[in-house]
Chains A and B, each alone.
Chain A
Amino acid sequence: MTEKRRLLLFFAGAIGVASVYCAGIRNMPPFGHYRGPYGDVIARLAVYERHTTDTVNAITYDYRGFDTLGEEFILFSAVTGVMLLLRPETQERRRRETEGENPESFRDRAALSETVQVFTTGMFGFAVLFGIYIGTHGQLTPGGGFQGGVIIAAAPMLLYVAENTDAFRRILSHPLMEFFEALGAAGYAVVGLVALAFSAPFLTNVLPLGKTGDVFSSGTIAVISACVGVEVGAGFMLVTYEYLREILSREKNTED
Chain B
Amino acid sequence: MLANLPYYVAAWLFLCGLYGIVRSRHLVHTVISLTVLQSSTYVLLLAIGFRKGGYAPIFADIAPGVITVDPVVQALMLTDVVVEVTVVALLLAMVVKAFEKGGTTRPDDLRFMRG
Contact = CB atoms under 8 A, between A and B. Distances in A.
Mutual binders A and B: yes
Interface in A1-43: 6-7, 10, 14, 17-18, 21-22, 25-26, 28, 30-34, 36, 38-40, 42-43
Given A18-B15, A34-B49, A82-B93, A53 B68 contact: no
Given A17-B14, A21-B11, A213-B60, 19 more contacts: A17-B18, A26-B4, A28-B48, A34-B51, A34-B54, A34-B70, A39-B49, A39-B68, A39-B69, A42-B71, A42-B72, A55-B58, A59-B71, A60-B75, A74-B83, A74-B87, A85-B97, A140-B60, A141-B60
Contacts of A150: 82
Contacts of A38: 70, 72
Contacts of A14: 15, 18-19
Nearest to A6: B22
A230 B83 CA distance: 14
A243 interface: yes
Q: Which 6 A-B pairs have the closest CB atoms?
A: A39-B70, A78-B86, A59-B75, A32-B52, A55-B57, A71-B79
Interface residues of A, number: 61
Interface in A138-179: 140-142, 146-147, 149-150
A189 to B, nearest CB: 16
Interface in A38-57: 38-40, 42-44, 46-48, 53-57
7 contacts: A17-B15, A21-B14, A28-B7, A47-B64, A71-B83, A85-B93, A243-B93
Contact of A31 (B7, B11, B79, B80): B7
A56 B57 contact: yes
A78 B23 CA distance: 26
Interface of B: 3-8, 11, 14-15, 18-19, 22-23, 47-52, 54, 56-60, 64-65, 68-76, 78-80, 82-83, 86-87, 89-90, 93-94, 96-97
Interface string A53-93: 11111111000100110011011001101100110000000
A43 B75 CA distance: 12
Q: Is the interface of B mostly helix, strand, loop or mixed?
A: helix
A109 B90 CA distance: 31
Given A55-B57, A86-B96, A78 B90 contact: yes
A22 B9 CA distance: 11
A10 B64 contact: no
Contacts of A86: 93, 96-97
Given A18-B15, A60-B79, A67-B79, A32 B50 contact: yes
Contact of B58 (A7, A22, A142): A142
A101 B43 CA distance: 47
Contact of A243 (B23, B64, B96): B96
B53 to A, nearest CB: 9
A87 B51 CA distance: 48
Nearest to A67: B79
Contact of B75 (A25, A28, A64, A72): A64
B93 A242 contact: yes
A31 B23 CA distance: 32
A227 interface: no
Given A74-B87, A85-B94, A86-B97, A28 B4 contact: yes
